[in-house]
Structure 1
Amino acid sequence: MCRNIKTLFNFEPPATDEEIHASALQFVRKLSGFNKPSAANKAAFDRAVHDVAHAAHHLLASLHTQAPARDRAVETEKARERSRARFG
């Protein structure tokens, strides 16, 4: 999976529309192999991003868990610590 796509479920505060769109964009970029599509492919690329973001909204809205919501600041610090341990 693309490393830039982050988990968006069960966070406080919840994922924003911008975060969901950014994840959809990364997913479509990974699938298509395009960082920036050509003019001929732009409409299809943009539609795919929109469709994936729409599906992600529905998914996040329908998921349920008994676990407490994770704190973004704590999870960000954990990720930084993992990165420091991995890359020095």
Structure 2
Amino acid sequence: MCRNIKTLFNFEPPATEEEIRAASLQFVRKLSGFNKPSRANEAAFEQAVEDVTAAARALMQSLSTTAEPRDREVEAEKARERSRQRFHRD
């Protein structure tokens, strides 16, 4: 899976439409191999992003959990700490 796609479910505050679209864009980029498609492929690329965004939104709305929502700042700090340990940064 693409490292740039972040988990969006069960956060407080909930994922925004922009975050869902950004994850969808990254997914389509990964699948297609295009960072920016040619003009010939632009319409198909954009349609795929819209389709994946709609599917992701529907998925997020249909999921349920009994777990407490995660805090974005706490999770971000955990990720920074993992990065420091991985790359030996102080």
Structure 2 equivalent of residue 68 of structure 1: 68
**Number of residue pairs matched by the alignment:** 88
Deviations along 1:29-73, one digit per CA (max 9) or x if unpaired, are 000000000000000000000000000000000000000000000
Q: Which residue of 2 aligns with 1:46?
A: 46
Q: Which runs of structure 2 are paired with 1:8-27 in the superposition (5 Å)? A: 8-27=8-27
Which residue in the other structure is 2:34 paired with? 34
Alignment match, 1:56? 56
State the TM-score, normalized to the length of structure 2.
0.97
- CA root-mean-square deviation: 0.3
**Structure 1: 4+ residue segments shifted above 4 A:** none
User: Which runs of no fewer than 5 residues in structure 1 stay unpaired?
Assistant: none
How high is the TM-score relative to the length of structure 1?
A: 0.99
Structure 2 residue ranges without an equivalent (≥5)? none
Amino acid of the residue matched to residue 44 of structure 1? A
% identical aligned pairs: 74
1: distance between equivalents of 2:7 and 2:84? 20
- The Cα shift of 1:78 comes to 0.2
> What is the letter of the counterpart of residue 62 of structure 1?
S
Matched with 1:86 is: 86
